[in-house]
A and B are shown apart, each in its own frame.
Chain A
Amino acid sequence: MSRIQSVFQSLRASGRRALIPFITAGDPAPELTVPLMHALVDGGADIIELGVPFSDPMADGPTIQRASERALRNGMSLRKVLAQVADFRTRNADTPVVLMGYANPIEAMGVERFVFAASEAGVDGVLIVDYPPEECKTFAATLKASGLDPIFLLAPTSTEQRIRDVAQIGSGYIYYVSLKGVTGSGALDFNDVAARLPQIRHGVGMPVGVGFGIRDAESARRIGEVADAVVIGSRIIEEIENSPRDQAVARVKAFVEGVRGALDQIQGAPR
């Protein structure tokens, strides 16, 4: 059983939701990434999504693009992200780390080399935004062969056929994009998500996390009523952006604690 699967299993046993915060590796400074990761865990994160900075983050909104730009100005690269994960692993052997990013840095490194290095570093899952199932069968198979989970997105507009495709090729969990648009945009429609999620969960046969548009404890709690996991990205990046450098870690931890508290008020299994 992968680290991701065992996290979901024990959460399910205790009737809790997974909290999956996202930060961009190297933002606001490379030396703060590992402390931020530990702070996320201390604040109540179950899984960490770690963004691999890319020069052209087409599917992200301005907030995460700014984080990417800051990280690249700080000299970040995929290689350095993997080194940060390895560093994180020296003090944390339990919290799954999912790399989230774009195809090109991985193709530049080479798929085989990347998968080997990621596995060595202690990465648990990989979500490549611009690798839809039809373009990454080999990549997903290579990940699985090394015990890594290929994580895929599903959207409100995904067809039955695509839900089946993703179920077949993906593992770990599904990241359901709760609204149209890019990360950090607009308000999400809870009723829409609630209506769609049972079908998605049934179709994929694995836990479903919901992200895009979750901005506070209240929206996290409402999504948690229906989802297995709640993903928060842009809002945490904003917290980092708006904090003085020396307070970023503490403030991120406090924010995550607030969301954790709200999620833990939920009683019973997702509707």
Chain B
Amino acid sequence: MQTADKPYRFPDSHGHFGPYGGVFVAETLIPALDELNAAYEACRNNPAFMAEFEYELKHYVGRPSPIYHAKRWSDSLGGAQIYLKREDLNHTGAHKVNNCIGQALVARYMGKPRVIAETGAGQHGVATATVAARYGMECVVYMGAEDVKRQAANVYRMKLLGATVVPVESGSKTLKDALNEAMRDWVTNIHNTFYIIGTVAGPHPYPMMVRDFQAVIGKECLVQMPEMAGRQPDCVIACVGGGSNAMGIFHPYIDVPEVRLIGVEAYGEGLDSGRHAASLTGGTPGVLHGNRTYLLQSEDGQIIETHSISAGLDYPGVGPEHAWLKDSERAEYVGVTDQEALAAFHDLCHLEGIIPALESSHALAYAAKLAPTLPRDKILLVNLSGRGDKDMHTVAEKSGIQF
């Protein structure tokens, strides 16, 4: 077994998390990444920048997000107590906005008037369009043509916010193809364009930068849990697609060894069915989208199509830091199926009056499995990374209901 260094200090200066991460891009992108690296270093060491970031998180996003003790749900499960970190209460309804604000401020610092983004379900696109409107920036969002059809409401939302949505017709016409297209735009328009990546993947410094901006989630929990429950939780549980909400809540807890970190992947129709999106638990290491990480790929090294009921988890890779946390055994990675996630979705609606995102429902579903196996004085902290309004159509369809 490889052991994580203590204190935990990753990535190294070249963006490596052990064998993962790095800068696997064409030469044409290297200067842009060097420029971004220098700008981000300057920003994060600048107290005025950080103060503005915090001000925006407080007054625009509504942070800190509360922690809520889901007592009725915990009682019904009959075991450990479940606490929810309410990222669903953020402006725009998910954790994505934390990172978008951070990157938009870096873009402004770099003097880039145009931001671009890729999006799958549309949540990161909406968050990017939102902050672009807030800071007066031009915004172009790349979205797979299939996803544009499936997520009409979010497409309209982005347009209302003034963004241009470009449907991507290449490849499987989903998130990974949108990412490819956004990279192409960036390499062509580097002089005036900032690429806001939505998750802890991509070439260095993105995995680190996105993690740093999302780490506000875990930092708040470190303070809030002792206030709420008198101590830190026994387990922190979060869903993992690209892995930004999980990295955000995990990272401040990495140096708290008694807290178990559990990432929950999308098993789709089941890990054995082959129709899933579980890169860490069902994939192998490789290189995609600028970093080395676990990937879902064929024997020949071609990236394969993924499946999950939750569009936000439907990605064939995962952030490189999760790959490292898995290999170093600091975090555990598990999965739940579409059906299990849906069951947790309905339970939270009925017992707590909270409609969770289908992504977050994966974390909830694993908590619902784990809680009954533990005594009542144990504490599980689940990152409720987003609200489920966007998923009404998907859930209704599964229940045989049409609007």
Q: Is A59's CB under 8 angstroms from B26's CB?
A: yes
Tell me which residues across on chain A come within 8 A of B22, comparing CB atoms.
135
Binds A, one of B133-141, B179-187, B323-331, B361-369: B179-187
A62 to B23, CA, bound (A): 23
Q: Is B287's CB under 8 angstroms from A130's CB?
A: yes
Count, chain A residues at interface, CB 8 A: 43
- Interface flag for A2 (CB, 8 Å): no
Interface residues of B in 352-389 (CB under 8 A from A): none
Given A78-B301, A108-B286, A134-B14, answer yes or no on A103-B24 (Cβ-Cβ < 8 Å).
Answer: yes
A-B contact count (CB 8 A): 124
In whole Å, how far is A83's beta carbon from the nearest beta carbon of chain B? 13
Given A62-B170, A130-B24, A180-B187, answer yes or no on A56-B176 (Cβ-Cβ < 8 Å).
Answer: yes
Tell me which residues across on chain A come within 8 A of B153, comparing CB atoms.
none
Provide the main secondary structure of the chain B interface.
mixed
- Interface flag for A218 (CB, 8 Å): no
In whole Å, how far is A197's beta carbon from the nearest beta carbon of chain B? 16
- Interface flag for B270 (CB, 8 Å): no
In whole Å, how far is B310's beta carbon from the nearest beta carbon of chain A? 21
- Interface flag for A205 (CB, 8 Å): no
Interface residues of B in 176-206 (CB under 8 A from A): 176-177, 180, 183-184, 187-188, 190
Given A103-B24, A130-B25, answer yes or no on A77-B300 (Cβ-Cβ < 8 Å).
Answer: yes
Q: Is A102's CB under 8 angstroms from B287's CB?
A: yes
A72 to B22, CA, bound (A): 27
Q: Is B26's CB under 8 angstroms from A58's CB?
A: yes
In whole Å, how far is A127's beta carbon from the nearest beta carbon of chain B? 10
A162 to B30, CA, bound (A): 10
* A57 and chain B: residue at smallest CB distance: B180
A55 to B301, CA, bound (A): 9
- Interface flag for A198 (CB, 8 Å): no
Q: Is B27's CB under 8 angstroms from A72's CB?
A: no
- Interface flag for A187 (CB, 8 Å): no
Q: Is A182's CB under 8 angstroms from B188's CB?
A: yes
- Interface flag for B157 (CB, 8 Å): no
Interface residues of A in 51-78 (CB under 8 A from B): 54-59, 61-62, 65-66, 69, 72, 77-78
In whole Å, how far is B200's beta carbon from the nearest beta carbon of chain A? 18
Binds A, one of B63-71, B102-110, B261-269, B288-296: B288-296
* A180 and chain B: residue at smallest CB distance: B188
A200 to B346, CA, bound (A): 62
A58 to B176, CA, bound (A): 10
Contact of B28 among A57, A59, A79, A108 (CB under 8 A): A59
In whole Å, how far is B114's beta carbon from the nearest beta carbon of chain A? 15
- Interface flag for A121 (CB, 8 Å): no
Q: Is B188's CB under 8 angstroms from A69's CB?
A: no
A66 to B302, CA, bound (A): 15
Q: Is B286's CB under 8 angstroms from A155's CB?
A: no
Count, chain B residues at interface, CB 8 A: 37
Q: Is B301's CB under 8 angstroms from A155's CB?
A: no
A131 to B288, CA, bound (A): 11
Tell me which residues across on chain B come within 8 A of A78, comparing CB atoms.
300-301
Q: Is B24's CB under 8 angstroms from A131's CB?
A: yes
Tell me which residues across on chain B come within 8 A of A72, comparing CB atoms.
302
* B285 and chain A: residue at smallest CB distance: A107
- Interface flag for A157 (CB, 8 Å): yes
In whole Å, how far is B190's beta carbon from the nearest beta carbon of chain A? 7
Chain A positions 102 through 120: 1 when the CB is less than 8 Å from some CB of chain B, otherwise 0: 1111111100000000000
* A60 and chain B: residue at smallest CB distance: B184
A102 to B290, CA, bound (A): 11
Given A108-B297, A181-B188, answer yes or no on A56-B28 (Cβ-Cβ < 8 Å).
Answer: no
In whole Å, how far is B362's beta carbon from the nearest beta carbon of chain A? 25
A236 to B187, CA, bound (A): 23
Q: Is B183's CB under 8 angstroms from A157's CB?
A: no
- Interface flag for A154 (CB, 8 Å): yes
In whole Å, how far is A192's beta carbon from the nearest beta carbon of chain B? 14
Tell me which residues across on chain A come within 8 A of B303, comparing CB atoms.
55-56, 104
Given A102-B287, A104-B301, A108-B286, answer yes or no on A181-B187 (Cβ-Cβ < 8 Å).
Answer: yes
- Interface flag for B299 (CB, 8 Å): yes
A33 to B289, CA, bound (A): 28
- Interface flag for A129 (CB, 8 Å): yes
- Interface flag for B62 (CB, 8 Å): no
Given A56-B176, A135-B23, answer yes or no on A61-B300 (Cβ-Cβ < 8 Å).
Answer: no
In whole Å, how far is B139's beta carbon from the nearest beta carbon of chain A? 20
Q: Is B24's CB under 8 angstroms from A61's CB?
A: no
Q: Is B295's CB under 8 angstroms from A104's CB?
A: yes
A56 to B188, CA, bound (A): 18
Interface residues of A in 164-186 (CB under 8 A from B): 177, 180-182, 185-186
Interface residues in chain B, defined as those with a beta carbon under 8 Å from any beta carbon in chain A = 14, 22-28, 30-32, 170-171, 176-177, 180, 183-184, 187-188, 190, 284-290, 295, 297-304
A-B interface, 4 closest residue pairs, ranked by CB to CB distance from nearest = A108-B301, A105-B301, A181-B188, A59-B26
Interface residues in chain A, defined as those with a beta carbon under 8 Å from any beta carbon in chain B = 54-59, 61-62, 65-66, 69, 72, 77-79, 102-109, 129-132, 134-135, 152-155, 157-159, 162, 177, 180-182, 185-186
Given known contacts A102-B287, A181-B187, A182-B187, what 20 new A-B pairs fall within 8 Å (CB)? A58-B25, A58-B184, A58-B289, A61-B184, A62-B170, A65-B180, A77-B300, A103-B286, A104-B295, A105-B301, A108-B300, A109-B300, A130-B287, A130-B290, A155-B31, A157-B190, A158-B27, A162-B30, A180-B187, A186-B188
